[in-house]
């Protein structure tokens, strides 16, 4: 089999595995960077740059980090398996493949910072300033917001991580928050290692906090460089009596 044919076969099997794993829009999957990665994987050349470019291209096309990594897991499963059915598994990804692709993906979000005045450029969550504004609205609406709302916090230990892994850890955490709290809650960054959810108090809140703790542990376990930032600390704070007090609380949590 010639080189060009081998690349076409790899691309076809990768696409099939990715679509079977849940890639949502088949027409968006083919990219020039996909071809570059196939060529690099079948060559003796270093595939690092091709993986970074793939991560960037996926982010620019609007793919989330989870979707991007699942697609990468499909490639790894094809490369690692025989010619039968394969089962993509993000947890089985080599740390270097995950790190390079996620780093490329995160770079795009950083570059879009100027277009996201109310959003944190790395995580896509609301900024601390937006959270304070949202809380001000609640305190104007009711004198006792704690009767109806809670502030759920989740924090990581970034002192045990460096460079790209700090970014990836918080990005993975933001994806987990969107999965668990998908009902219009305010999701925000509070500090470099802390994120917050302003959510209604209801019968499902305890279950959601438990789900957040479990899912965060699963996501952080995929890479040995990211894993030391966990386990994620998850807890709930009561809203103080005044807006001034809640802003002081947020400021303290941000340190």
Domain 128-253 listed as CATH 3.50.50.60: no
Q: Half-sphere exposure of 171 toward its Cβ, with a 13 Å CA cutoff?
A: 26
More confident residue, 13 or 216: 13
Q: What is the pLDDT of residues 25-59, one digit of tens each?
A: 888 899 889 999 999 998 877 899 999 999 988 98
**Are 97 and 72 contacting, i.e. CB atoms less than 8 angstroms apart?**
yes
Beta strands 233-237 and 194-200, pairing class: unpaired
Q: Look at residue 114 and tell me whether its pLDDT is greater than 70.
A: no
Question: Measured between alpha carbons, how far is 206 from 74 in angstroms, rounded to an integer?
Answer: 34
Q: Look at residue 217 and tell me whether its pLDDT is greater than 90.
A: no
What pLDDT score does 113 carry?
52
Q: Where are the domains of the chain?
A: 3-111, 128-253
What pLDDT score does 14 carry?
94
* pTM, to two decimals: 0.55
Q: What is the pLDDT of residues 178-204, one digit of tens each?
A: 999 988 899 998 887 889 999 999 999
Q: Which of 50, 68, 71 is nearest to 105 (CA)?
A: 68
């Amino acid at each position: 089999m010639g080189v060009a044919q081998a690349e076409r076969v790899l691309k076809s099997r990768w696409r099939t595995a990715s679509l079977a794993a849940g890639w949502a829009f088949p027409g968006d999957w083919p990219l020039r960077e996909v071809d570059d990665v196939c060529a690099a994987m079948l060559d003796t050349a270093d595939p690092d740059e091709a993986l970074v470019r793939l991560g960037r291209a996926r982010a620019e096309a609007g793919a989330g980090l989870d979707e991007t990594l699942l697609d990468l897991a499909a490639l790894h499963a094809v490369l690692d398996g025989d010619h039968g059915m394969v089962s993509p598994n993000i947890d089985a990804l080599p740390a270097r493949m995950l790190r390079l692709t996620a780093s490329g993906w995160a770079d795009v979000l950083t570059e879009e910072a100027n277009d996201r005045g109310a959003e944190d450029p790395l995580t896509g969550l609301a900024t601390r300033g937006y959270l304070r504004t949202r809380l001000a609205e609640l305190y104007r609406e009711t004198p006792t917001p704690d009767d109806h709302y809670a502030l759920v916090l989740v924090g990581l230990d970034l002192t045990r991580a460096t460079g790209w892994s700090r970014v990836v850890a918080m990005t993975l955490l933001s994806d987990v928050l969107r999965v668990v709290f998908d009902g219009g809650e305010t999701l925000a960054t509070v500090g470099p290692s802390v994120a917050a959810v302003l959510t209604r108090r209801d019968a499902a809140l305890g279950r959601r906090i438990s789900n957040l703790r479990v899912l965060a542990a699963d996501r952080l376990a995929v890479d040995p460089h990211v894993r030391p930032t966990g386990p994620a600390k998850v807890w709930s704070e009561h809203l103080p009596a005044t807006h001034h007090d809640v802003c002081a609380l947020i400021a303290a949590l941000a340190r």
